């Protein structure tokens, strides 16, 4: 026999999981190389293991290593009538950022989305493939809601990757919050 109290506890637990699961979904990921002689993507995908475990992974192969000058532009968009700029548009010097993460709180915020899942957590030079491995939807949801409540809707997290001030690749992650 399950006691009524236990039943209520169980219900609350399942309900909480349900909320955590349903609030955010990855809907697409697109990795595009603009300079295939500089970098190519070995893979770039989102995967659903089951209802609670969904993740994104990518691997960029750098073909002209070592890379000693990196810049990243990250911008967030909200879909209204097409995707419109929303909230953030930052550009970060990748080599400098890793020497002093506290210098740029917004960049740190974005980096927190994947820092525990990536081998990109050091300063220049980069002389290896860049891997982002299994960033889960629950992790992203926790990061998003820990900082600010974002209205329901469709969002795009767009990043441009520059090396030596030339744009080499873009990575777009689409999510839905509901
Ligand atoms: C979903 O898959 C993960 C990884 O295989 C597993 O740990 C988890 O228990 C699964 N959850 C459900 C609800 O099946
Ligand atoms: C972000 O800012 C840069 C520099 O100010 C600008 O060139 C770029 O178009 C902006 N991107 C978006 C999506 O607004
Ligand atoms: C980068 O991440 C790896 C793997 O998680 C870890 O072993 C390493 O200490 C991290 N390096 C830095 C500089 O944070």
Is the pLDDT assigned to residue 47 strictly greater than 70? yes
pTM score, two decimals? Answer: 0.82
Question: Taking CA 170 as the corner, what is the angle to CA 167 and CA 173, rounded to the nearest 5 degrees?
Answer: 160
Tell me what the mean pLDDT of segment 103-109 comes to: 83
Which alpha helices (H) appear in the chain, and where do they start and end?
Answer: 4-22, 94-97, 105-111, 137-147
pLDDT band at 19 (very low <50, low <70, confident <90, very high): very low
Q: Express as a percent the part of the chain with pLDDT over 70.
A: 85
pLDDT band at 58 (very low <50, low <70, confident <90, very high): very high
Tell me how far the alpha carbon of residue 81 lies from the centroid of ligand 3, in angstroms.
41
Decide: 84 and 96 in contact? Cβ < 8 Å.
no
Is the pLDDT assigned to residue 14 strictly greater than 50? no
Which ligand has an atom closest to residue 76 CA?
A: 2
User: 122-162: per-residue pLDDT in tens?
Assistant: 889 999 999 999 998 888 888 777 766 678 899 999 999 99
In short, whether 52's Cβ falls inside 6 Å of ligand 1 is yes
Give the residue with greater pLDDT, 51 vs 38. 38
Is the pLDDT assigned to residue 18 strictly greater than 70? no
Which ligand has an atom closest to residue 55 CA?
A: 1
Top mutation candidate among 17, 22, 49, 139 for ligand 1, by most atoms within 8 Å of CB: 49
In short, whether 122's Cβ falls inside 6 Å of ligand 3 is yes
Tell me how far the alpha carbon of residue 74 lies from the centroid of ligand 2, in angstroms.
9
Say if residue 77 is exposed, middle or buried (CB neighbours under 10 Å; 0-12, 13-18, 19+). buried
Residue nearest to atom 10 of ligand 3 (CA): 121
| pLDDT for residue 106 | 84
Ligand 2 pocket list (CB less than 6 A): 75, 85, 89
| pLDDT for residue 138 | 83
Is the pLDDT assigned to residue 163 strictly greater than 60? yes
């Amino acid at each position: 026999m399950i006691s009524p109290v236990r039943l209520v506890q169980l219900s609350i637990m399942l309900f909480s999981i349900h909320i955590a699961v349903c609030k955010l979904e990855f809907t697409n990921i697109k990795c595009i190389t603009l300079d295939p002689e500089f970098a190519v993507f070995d893979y770039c995908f989102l995967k659903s293991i089951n209802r609670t475990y969904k993740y994104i992974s990518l691997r960029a192969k750098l073909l002209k290593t070592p890379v000693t000058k990196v810049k990243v532009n990250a911008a967030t968009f909200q879909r209204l009538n097409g995707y419109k700029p929303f909230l953030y548009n930052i550009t970060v010097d990748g080599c400098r950022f890793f020497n002093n993460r506290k210098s740029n709180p917004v960049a740190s915020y974005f980096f927190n989305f994947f820092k525990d899942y990536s081998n990109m957590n050091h300063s220049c030079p980069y002389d290896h493939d860049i891997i982002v491995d299994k960033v889960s939807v629950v992790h992203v949801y926790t990061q998003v809601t820990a900082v600010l409540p974002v209205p329901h809707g469709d969002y795009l997290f767009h990043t441009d990757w520059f090396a030596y001030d030339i744009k080499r690749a873009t990575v777009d992650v689409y999510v839905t919050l509901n």
